[in-house]
Amino acid sequence: MKKSPLWLAVLSALAVQSALYTTTASAAVAAPESTATVRTHALLNQADLVFTGKVVDIQYKDSLDGIPHTFVTYQVDDVISGRPDGKQVTLRFMGGRQQKGEVIRYLDVSETPEFQTGDTDVLFVSRNASNICPLADCNSGRFRNRDGVLTSDDGRVIIETADRSYAISSAVLANDSGIKQDIGRSINEIAAQTREPKAEAIPVTAVKVEKFVTDLKVQAREVASTRAKEPVFISASIRDDFKSPAMAPAAAPQEGAPNLLRRTTTPSDFDRWEEDAVRKNNGNPVL
């Protein structure tokens, strides 16, 4: 399910409450519609390790309790924050391919990214070998390098806004065409009855990966100054046996919504009669 963390909460507010902003923005030609702010400080605070790198290997292994996991290994290009334990970093995600004899099964975990060998990314890694998705806010902790242009995990171009912050635009860079290499999670294609969205022109305010990395390094120094000495980040190892997180059920949250009725007009006798009549009619407005 789509989450609404810090930066996505802005989206829902914009979509519902700010019709005027949305209308104005969508009428603009030069700048694509900005959909959500990228809160780099929050991501840096959450991350144990931030780096740029390229996927060089993808493997699968079951946990001791029989749950397939995907091990994605990156060749580290540039460290932005944190201390990796080597020139390669391996991340462990719950889900993936499992083969027992001739039977091949897949575990798909929704809201987690998919990887291919050759992907070049900027990653905010958090709680590796612990969290089922070891990226800060999962999908939000991965940015793609598409020929030097920075995009979100799903290919939307990151732009620089007027106040010099970063935002995810509505412009989508098409996926690389050609032969798919090793696929991190789903080997089967998703079939839709219409085509993928067409690639849009790169916005003029699109952020280059190089600039993003430079800005992150400056911000990372501010974050690091408030932390104690950073421990070395430990890669996951496919040679190690491990257990997947226990999924013990918890009680549902306490109901926090008040039972308030917010009315702007005082109901008339007719209104009250009408409400009662529709209620007695099982909600059917045809009386």
Partner 1 sequence: MKKLLITSLGLVMALGSLSASAAGWRTCEGNKIKWDSNTVTMRASNVSFPAGSAYGNALQTSIDRVNDNPSKFNFSLVFGDTSIGRDNGQNETWFTSDPDVHGGAPARALSWRHCYWAFGWHYGIDEVDVVFNTSENYTTSMSKTNLWPFGGSFRPFQTTAIHEFGHAMGLTHENRWYSIMGSDWTFIHANGDTARSYFGEDGAEGSVILYGATAGTMEDLSLTNFKYLGKDGEYSTHQPTQLFNSSNAVLSWFTDAGERRYRVNKGQSVKLELTGENNGKTNQTVKIAYYISTNNLISTADRLIATGTVTLNRDQPATFKSNLVIPADLVSGTNYWVGAIVDYDNVLTESTSTNNASYLPIRVN
Window 210 to 239, contacts with partner 1 (CB under 8 A): none
Q: Which of residues 20-39 bind partner 1 (CB under 8 A)?
A: 22-23, 26, 33, 35-36
DSSP SS3 for 150 = strand
Q: How far is CA 33 from CA 16, 30, 72, 170, 267, in A?
A: 15, 10, 33, 6, 41
Smaller CB separation from partner 1, 176 or 274: 274
106 belongs to the binding site for partner 1 (CB under 8 A)? yes
Q: Which of 131, 161, 175, 219 binds partner 1 (CB under 8 A)?
A: 131
Task: Determine the 3-state secondary structure of 273 from DSSP.
Answer: helix
Minimum distance, C-beta of residue 214 to partner 1, in the bound complex (Å): 26
Q: Residue 196 and residue 190: Cα distance in Å, rounded? A: 11
- Closest distance of CB 54 from partner 1, Å: 23
Would you call 274 helix, strand, or coil by DSSP?
A: helix
Shortest Å, Cβ 203 to partner 1: 15
- Considering only residues 86, 104, 199, 201, which one is a binding residue for partner 1 as defined by CB under 8 A? 104
Number of residues counted as binding partner 1 (CB under 8 A)? 91
Instruction: Rank residues 239 and 263 by Cβ distance to partner 1 and give the closer one.
Output: 263
Query: Which residue in 27, 28, 64, 261 binds partner 1 (CB under 8 A)?
Result: 261
Burial track 104-138 (b if 16+ CB lie within 10 A, e otherwise): eeebebeebbbbbbebbbbbbbbebbebbbbbbbb
Residues 37-76 that bind partner 1 (CB under 8 A): 65-67
The enclosing H or E element of 281 equals: none
Q: 59 or 139, CB closer to partner 1? A: 139
- Of 19, 199, 201, 204, the one binding partner 1 by CB under 8 A: 19
| C-alpha–C-alpha distance, residues 73 and 91, integer Å | 6
- Asked if 109 touches partner 1 (CB under 8 A), the answer is yes
- The footprint of partner 1 on residues 134-163 (CB under 8 A) is 137-139, 152-154, 156
Nearer residue to partner 1 within complex by CB, 108 or 222: 108
Instruction: Of 131, 110, 138, give the one whose Cα is nearest residue 43.
Output: 138
Question: Which of 114, 125, 132 lies closest to 243, judged by CA?
Answer: 132
